Amino acid sequence: MMKKKIKNANIYTALGICIIALAVASVISIVPGKNDDTEEIEFTRVSVKWSEKVREYTVPETDAVDVDVTGIADDRTRETEPSTEENKPFTGTFALPMGTDIIKDFSNGEMVFSQTMGDWRVHNGVDFGGAAGNRVDAVADGEIIAVYEDSFLGTVIEIDHGNGMTVSYCGLKKGSTLVEGTFVKGGDKIGSLGSVPVESADGDHLHLEVKVDGKTVDPLEALNKVRSE
């Protein structure tokens, strides 16, 4: 009976030794450098240091507004004499748009006969005679506020000359004009003479219309020009 117990004890002891041996072998196999199939990997810790650059702004030591920093005068500025109700837009000198030959005057609301249309109608402008290609000038400083084609008046430029006065230069040559938004001085060329379809029987001429505060007025009176008797 005693021999059987010893024999069983020996068996358990042998099994324990085998289990320990297997465990040791497993540990050895996963230790880096102990197995030819194991790849060694090195990790390097990288330290990143962030620095923030601060922008510096220089503030001019002045409280002035709209300071002229370039020294170049603004060509769009202009000084005019005060306007009056009797002589608006203002007293002063205007340029003529194209010579002094007036072939048809302002009708002041009265009907005049149209050679082209063969009927009677009002003539709201003054016609300056000339030849196709003649230079057409701005009558005063101003801004071109519109450039367009009109089936009756041809190519038209509208210029805002300030103090409520807008001038329409009609009958210009298409493609010869300055563009909308251009600022001009009195006497500057704005285009070349073309034709006025609704007045073609009257020959080549510039048809000039003037409005003051939206009302059509006598162009020569608005431009302070005296008619010769």
pLDDT of residue 57: 35
% of the chain exceeding 90 in pLDDT: 55
Question: Stretch 73-98: mean pLDDT, rounded?
Answer: 56
pLDDT of residue 16: 55
H helix intervals, the chain: 2-30, 219-222
Question: Stretch 98-122: mean pLDDT, rounded?
Answer: 94
Q: How confident is the model at residue 34 (pLDDT cuts 50, 70, 90)?
A: very low
The token pair that represents 24 in the structure block: 């040791």
pLDDT at 6 over 90: no
pLDDT of residue 31: 43
Residue 183: partners with Cβ closer than 8 Å, 6 or more residues away: 75, 76, 141, 142, 143, 144
pLDDT at 72 over 50: no
The token pair that represents 6 in the structure block: 């010893």
- Vertex 15 angle, CA 13 and 21, to 5°: 105
Q: Write the DSSP string, 127-180.
A: EEE--TT-EEE-SSSEEEEEEEEETTTEEEEEEE-STTEEEEEEEEPTT-SPPT
Q: Domains in the chain, please, with CATH? A: 102-222 (2.70.70.10)
pLDDT of residue 211: 95
Across all residues in the chain, what is the average pLDDT? 74
The CB density around residue 194, as the number of other CB atoms within 10 Å, is 22
The per-residue pLDDT for range 185-212, each reduced to its tens digit, is: 999 999 999 999 999 999 999 999 999 9
Q: Is 160 exposed, middle or buried (0-12, 13-18, 19+ CB in 10 A)?
A: middle
pTM across the whole model: 0.62
Q: Are 57 and 186 in contact (CB under 8 A)?
A: no
Q: Which residue type, as a one-letter code, is found at position 220? A: L
Please indicate whether residue 45 or residue 67 has the higher confidence score (pLDDT): 45
C-alpha torsion angle, residues 9, 14, 16, 22 (rounded to 10): -170
